[in-house]
Amino acid sequence: MWGGRFSDKPAELMQAINVSIGFDRRLAAQDLEGSRAHAAMLQKTGVITSEDAAAILGGLATIAAEMDAGSFPFREEYEDIHMNVEARLRELIGPAAGRLHTARSRNDQVALDLRMWVREACDRTHAQIRALQKALIAKAEPNAATLMPGFTHLQPAQPVTFGHHLMAYVEMFGRDASRFADARTRMNESPLGAAALAGSPFPIDRQMTAHALRFDRPTANSLDSVADRDFALEALAAAGITAIHLSRLAEEIVIWMTPQFGFIRLTDAFTTGSSIMPQKKNPDAAELVRAKAGRMLGSFTQLAVVMKGLPLTYSKDMQEDKVPTFEAFDALELSLRAMAGMIADLEPVPERMAAAAGAGFSTATDLADWLVRELALPFRDAHHITGAAVKRAEQLGCDLPALPLAELQALEPRINDGVYKVLTPQASVASRMSYGGTAPDQVRAQIERWKEILA
């Protein structure tokens, strides 16, 4: 393709390190769409003739059909997807193919292709996050009042409901979806027409190609257009945060599945066995979702390191932008689908959850709140008395609801038997009526709010 300057072929090792068709062939659909838009614009602005434009568009249609049929001859000697398409176009229509590259460069071409691919990946991911949120809501709704322990430091803290716990992830994934939507808005500018780096002397219409390719506008600086990959970095950052949330939920599924917890059951659809221990039922899908977070976070780091030291504008280093981007979104989309499947599949074990909800003095804060509310004690004094009550219950080998009234009155004489009404997990949960709290009515209100958002 650049034979006028070069008289010999590249060395075999140069070809091995330089060729990218093995992975950038995934940009074929975007490359063809961008080329069609570019050809139509060149024809309308008079840069190429109608006859050449018709030949080019016909040839591109043939190439698209070959790719759909799996018969397109991808060849490493043409290095990348752009050169493969151009070489095949020349075979199909002859010299007119050479006019397609007028007023563009591979620099703005690849920036366009990858931006379109990432934009589509953001759309797919956004939809998959919404599907996961709907699965969580569907599981939370019948469990809005199902008791379970809430934890801090993985120690029993206060009773909550399973529905409330699941809705916490609906909130997290909602923010993830908004990050992808925000990133998509910022990336929705077309770099096509920036050419190699300085723009074009031809009377091109960048607004026309931007509109044809569903961009809001063309990019405003030709150097920036080909030099940066922050659109991919931002999408990968959003993917990494989503992966963290997926990993945290996966970790909880793994914990809840252990016999020591026994909070949930998964069917055979999302578990595996052991080659040696016949009793095993392993939550491997959750473990793999947890592990894939490393791949997604690594992809962001990989691309950030590639970009961090590059002067303007394009350097061949940027060929390394595609593999981490492709790998991250492949892993993310699979993880989102797997998690939505697991959430739909899992069933809580309410009796195990309820038993755990009342263990570990989980209603101690309710005792302190009662002392403040009923006896007008300062909270710090109530906290101290409650701590002493917990210590005494430990000494007697009982939980707070079973601590005799006389023991409580030895700590604060004004305590009466009305205190026992707040010391059950059910009462504790029902009392948390503040906005966003775990009271079942509050949980149901949040479920309805999210149903309206997702509708």
What residues are annotated to the active site? 153, 274
Would you state the structure tokens that stand for residue 280, as one six-digit string?
């095993």
Give the C-alpha separation, 113 to 26, whole Å. 10
Q: Which of 202, 201, 231 is nearest to 215 (CA)?
A: 231
Tokens of 329: 């979104």
| Both structure tokens of 314 | 């394009």
Cα 181 to Cα 3: distance, rounded to the nearest angstrom: 44
Neighbours of 4 (CB within 10 A): 6
Can you read off the two tokens belonging to residue 143? 């469990």
Beta strands in 242-369 (DSSP E): 264-265, 347-348
What single-letter DSSP state applies at residue 265?
E
For 149-209, the DSSP string reads EEEETTEEEEEEEHHHHHHHHHHHHHHHHHHHHHHHHHH-EE-TT-TTTT--SS---HHHH
Q: Which residue has the tokens 């309206």?
A: 452
CB atoms within 10 A of CB 27: 24
Q: What angle do CA 246, 250, 253 make, to 5 degrees?
A: 145
- DSSP 3-state assignment of 148? strand
Q: How far is the CA of 83 from the CAs of 79, 90, 156, in angstroms?
A: 7, 10, 61
Answer whether 149's CB lies under 8 Å from 360's CB. Answer: yes
Q: Return d(Cα 127, Cα 133) in angstroms, integer.
A: 10
> Which bin fits 217, alpha (ψ -120 to 50), beta or left (φ > 0)?
beta
Give yes or no for a cis peptide into 313 (omega within 30° of 0).
Answer: yes
Helical H runs in 379-439? 379-396, 405-411, 425-431
Q: How many residues does the chain have?
A: 455
Distant-in-sequence, close-in-space partners of 389: CB < 8 Å, separation ≥ 6: 364, 367, 400, 403, 407, 408, 411
